Structure 1
């Protein structure tokens, strides 16, 4: 079988060339993201498994302290609970409970105690979560958040918070902050089972290798299709030869 070679047009060359550049660029970007995500996961794991330190007081927030194992002591201000809305747990809708932890000087540290089902928003439905007296809690340090463009505005009057704004949460509590870090508790069991701690995402999904393979595979497929299209079988010549011999 002979092959008919056709010369691709300039427009086709440009389209295929641009498509290859885009596909290879996307694949390389995913490779970069793969190594970035691996480094981030390793850093979070290392930070969370270090010996716990006391939540830093009166210090500037350092990004490298994120997910550092830490502890805090104080007294929960149960009447000043904050509800971090639209949080899920195994497909169930609920919220994360943030309670100010009062220090001896009256200032507070914000504590994300974990997830609570939506039907247990009323503290009367979870009386064991209303802990009185001094507590010692452990978890990981988290940094103050800024509003993502897709997030609704926080609504202090309705006690509906969509991101952790430590400054406004402290203002709503009526107390000064002892630390601009907040503590996200670990999964240490609590009486009554609520809130469910351990919500910090130390382990992150890392599918960038699969994405990179997908983009590179598409680029290879495009090359193969391009070559085969311009080296397709010369069926017209083959049919003509057959008819000639038959005659």
Structure 2
């Protein structure tokens, strides 16, 4: 196929694909937004749904290995804060949690500043650009629930603690994990991508039409 013909076709298809991805992302964001509005239910490990609000009863066990997910910037509260991401980086603290029925799961307890990474452990009861996890160093760049649960002897279930309380002190000074706010943190750039692809399709189509419209004529005397 002539490249001049193929380019508009390919870019048009890519634009349509981004429109489909946009719809899927909007549906996911709506689902997550609605889940935050629902009252949390007691966790049901046999009928667990992704991104649903749950309540758990049990305890963190002294001596359990804790896992540090990061580095990550401080999660901003939904209402804004006087503190910015300039406070530096930290880690999300993932801890094994024993339910009242004896089952063990993983809990994301919140964000802790890098300077307290080791201190909190003493006090406590994957994208293509993310480096590989290093389990031997307890360094986790991405949340591999299967691997972490096998090391912690828990089910591959991760419950995330959230809180909408306003942060009134510098998070950098907190020695306790700061829960994430119940907000949607999903990038949604599909509309701009779709516009870009359709724009390229329109431009290349115009170029094709302009070139195709040119004809060479011999002079007739």
TM normalised by structure 2 equals 0.73
Residue 36 of structure 2 contacts residue 182 of structure 2 at CA under 8 Å; is this kept in 1? no
1:213 pairs with one of 166, 172, 195: 195
Query: Partner of 1:110: helix, strand, or coil?
Result: strand
Deviating more after overlay: 106-115 vs 161-170 = 161-170
Instruction: Give the Cα–Cα distance (whole angstroms) in 1 for the partners of residues 118 and 60 of structure 2.
Output: 17
Residue 83 of structure 1 contacts residue 96 of structure 1 at CA under 8 Å; is this kept in 2? yes
**1:73: Cα distance to partner?**
2.0
**1:39: Cα distance to partner?**
0.8
Q: Where in structure 1 are there 5+ consecutive unaligned residues?
A: 1-10, 133-146, 238-247
Distance 1:97 1:200, change over 3 A: farther
2:91 pairs with one of 78, 92, 95: 95
Instruction: Give the Cα–Cα distance (whole angstroms) in 1 for the partners of residues 200 and 146 of structure 2.
Output: 48
1:155 aligns with 2:134: yes
Instruction: Give the Cα–Cα distance (whole angstroms) in 2 for the partners of residues 23 and 231 of structure 1.
Output: 22
Instruction: Give the Cα–Cα distance (whole angstroms) in 2 for the partners of residues 158 and 205 of structure 1.
Output: 30
Q: Where in structure 2 are there 5+ consecutive unaligned residues?
A: 75-84
1:70 aligns with 2:59: no
Q: Which of the pair has more CA radius of gyration?
A: 1
Distance 1:161 1:205, change over 3 A: closer
Distance 1:169 1:211, change over 3 A: closer
Q: CA RMSD in A?
A: 3.4
Distance 1:153 1:230, change over 3 A: closer
1:83 pairs with one of 64, 68, 71: 68
**1:180: Cα distance to partner?**
3.5
Residue 120 of structure 2 contacts residue 176 of structure 2 at CA under 8 Å; is this kept in 1? no
Distance 1:33 1:104, change over 3 A: closer
Instruction: Give the Cα–Cα distance (whole angstroms) in 1 for the partners of residues 54 and 175 of structure 2.
Output: 22
Distance 1:38 1:104, change over 3 A: closer
More strand by share: 1
Distance 1:187 1:26, change over 3 A: same
**1:19 matched residue in structure 2:** 7
1:46 aligns with 2:34: yes
TM normalised by structure 1 equals 0.66
Deviation string 1:107-145 (CA, Å, 9 cap, x unpaired) is 422110122222221125995xx4x6xxxxxxxxxxxxx
**1:139 matched residue in structure 2:** none
Distance 1:39 1:99, change over 3 A: same
Deviating more after overlay: 207-216 vs 221-230 = 221-230
**1:193: Cα distance to partner?**
7.2
Residue 42 of structure 2 contacts residue 55 of structure 2 at CA under 8 Å; is this kept in 1? yes
Deviation string 1:39-71 (CA, Å, 9 cap, x unpaired) is 1111111223211012223x26x5xx1110112
Question: How many residues of Structure 1 are paired with residues of Structure 2 in the alignment?
Answer: 199
